[in-house]
Amino acid sequence: MSGNGNGNGPSGAGGPFVLPAPDAERSPLTGWTRAHWEAVGRRWLSRIEPYDSPGGALPRLPGRVTGDGERRESMEAVGRSFLLAAPLIAGARGTEAEALTERYARALLAGTDPDGAESWPRGVTCRAPVTGVTNSIVEAANIAFGLHISRERLWDRLAPAERRRIADWLRHHARLEVWHNNWQLFPAMAEGFLRSVGEDTSGCTGTRNVRRVESWYLEQGWYTDGPEHAVDYYNAWAIHPYLWAWYRMTDRTATPDGARHLERLGAFAGSWADTVAPDGSMLHVGRSLTYRTAALAALWCAEISGVNPLAPGATRRLASGVLARFTAAGVGIAHPPELGWYRPYEPIAQTYSGFGSSYLAGIGFLGLAIDRDAPVWTAAEQPQPTERGPRTRVMPELGWLLRTQQDGIVRLVNHGSDHCEIPVEPTRADPDDPHYAKFGYSSHTAPGTAAGWTANVDGHLALLDAGGRASHRGVIRAMRVEGAVAGSVHLPQLDGRLLPGCSVVSVTVLDGDLELRAHLVRTPRPRPVREGGWAVADTSPLTTRTPGGPGTARTAAVTRADGLTATVVGLYGWQHAATHAERDTNAMGPYSAVPVLTATAGTPTTVLVSLHTLTRATPTPTDLADLATAVRVEVHGTVLHAHWRTGPHHTLDLATFVPWDGEVPAAH
């Protein structure tokens, strides 16, 4: 059973929300059918109505307003909720969609009327210094996408003058220059729709922009989000859906470029499916996570285009599991979807996210544009990929190892994605981000944010200054993935400055669900070092243990009420084990804790080796003692020998495993 969304959801101002009865015959794994999706989609849209404006273009939802102002946030609420409304409009039968069609036609016309009381701001070109609103470019893309999906029922029914008004607003944004990342596709979306309806597209650069994005392709369907090596869900909710729509709107699907993209889209659907746990929990990594179900969009695109490697029943099972998981947590039920994950939690949102931002999750309902008689809605559910047993996906170009555990937890080993550029020193702040900078992420944990990011304990190897402040990982300078072994090099920094004479080579070795982390630390003087495991969060304080008995002297574990446990074992070089507790620093719950190892790194180099686990079951003292014997390590200079009890043996030189010819900043 994925999630527990088969019964009543939380109550809201409009009364209790009751899902349709589960269909155990068609959907034995989730109970969910198309009717459940439609019910949740309508509920999300109904949450806007109490806050609507007379013309429908400027709803004022609860929540924060960014520096761009309330009018921009209201525009977002319309543009992004239209991503949800459009497939409901397109996939409805009879007169079912008439009210939604009227509602959004009215809002679009009011917002794009330059002289109207509810007119939206027009975007400006993204070149520093920027003066004016830029995010209307994003909403132009969302509106163009929604118009493409619902064209027959909405656009085609508008009067010529009404079409011209919306087209003029879209054309303004189609001609703007934007940031060099997924934003390249936003003006291309506006241009693509204008082309598809025979409007003037002179002065537009969509073809160039699309080619730029295609040049960022890595492997297995994944792109980096711009020149910097940022790999994240923007693949799922922006890059793939908007490329898919571009090729369709410009009649290029059958061209070599369009065919190549469909091949990449199919590959992405297959590899991305490995990031979703059987209980519907998504891997918690990357920015803009408040978009939540938007990550399903590329899967639906692949299904619509016939390139989805998942069977129809497996596709619905996976997608329904994700939506059921968020619905069970109350997302979008009593209130509009708020900034956060399972609960409202603003620290995971970006500075540009306001009260309407979370409705981008609506693009994840794209499957409702598929006919209700299609196999994806009628076939019997089948297990999704992560339900078929333990598996490891090796992704060398991403610097990732993706592990599905025996207990269904999905873990990510990250040695490639950092979302930062090499800074020109000194910078004003350290350039990394808690959702990219960690060595490990999972489907059931989240990294520490807010004060937790300042402390920077979990998922990190930190060099500490005299005041105990932790260094940042910053830019990943080099990486390598070979089979079940992945490694990277970073230069520790603090306050935007590299620590003189310091570098860290880190290598992760997987053996089943066990994760060995080895570090080669170079420092010109002795420094305290610290490594944290996964941050586990709950609604109440966690159970923490540092046993200290035979075989567990350097072991620490943290456990939440349902048994989810993170453990670290110091195998070589580490001197002490402890736990670190925090409050209100984690998207998964108000209480969190991290198992921690500490030591002193000597000169000129120090090797540190630890074992990490994340499990659903609370380990007994015997389990913890047994864990310390799961692998025997020997270190000779910089060469590590790992002898696993299960049989495999790994030998690698930490000094040479990751090819890197960069220079370490000199010590003063």
Residue 2 maps to a domain: no
Sign of the dihedral defined by the CA atoms of residues 510, 459, 628, 566, in that order: negative
pTM: 0.96
Residue finishing a domain among 356, 387, 418: 387
pLDDT tens digits along 543-566: 999 998 888 889 999 999 999 999
pLDDT score recorded for residue 153 = 96
pLDDT at 420: 86
Is residue 375 located within the same domain as residue 406?
no
Q: Would residue 605 count as lying in a domain?
A: yes
N-terminal to C-terminal alpha carbon distance within the chain:
59
Q: What is the pLDDT of residue 427?
A: 56
CATH label of the domain that carries residue 134: 1.50.10.10
Q: Which of 331, 363, 387 is the endpoint of a domain?
A: 387
**Same domain assignment for residues 364 and 471:** no
pLDDT value at position 127? 85
CATH code for position 411: 2.70.98
Beta-sheet strands, E only, within 389-501: 391-395, 400-404, 410-414, 440-442, 461-463, 476-482, 485-490, 493-494, 497-498
Q: What tens digit of pLDDT does each residue of 164-209 get?
A: 999 999 999 999 999 999 999 999 999 999 999 999 999 999 999 9
Token couple for 435: 């959702």
Residue 621 lies in domain: 396-653
pLDDT at 664: 79
CA distance 210 to 171: 17
Domain co-membership, 374 together with 412: no
Write down the pLDDT at residue 496.
85
Query: Are residues 450 and 358 part of one domain?
Result: no
Please list the rounded mean pLDDT of every run of 10 residues in the chain (668 residues). 37 72 98 98 97 98 95 98 98 88 98 97 88 91 98 97 98 96 97 98 98 98 92 98 98 97 98 98 97 98 98 98 98 97 96 96 98 98 97 98 98 95 62 94 98 97 97 95 97 92 97 98 97 98 92 93 98 98 98 98 97 96 93 98 96 96 73
**Which of 366, 387, 408 marks a domain boundary?**
387
Residue at 1 is within a domain: no
DSSP for 231-272?
-STHIIIIIHHHHHHHHHHTT-TTSHHHHHHHHHHHHHHHHH
Total domains present in the chain: 2
Tokens of 206: 């969509």
Dump pLDDT digits (tens) for 434-476: 999 999 999 999 999 999 999 999 999 999 999 999 999 999 9
Residue 273, SS3?
helix
Q: Which residue in 340, 405, 398, 337 sits closest to 590, CA to CA?
A: 340
Query: CA-to-CA distance for 32 and 19, rounded, in angstroms?
Result: 9
Same domain, 377 and 526: no
In a domain, 664, yes or no: no
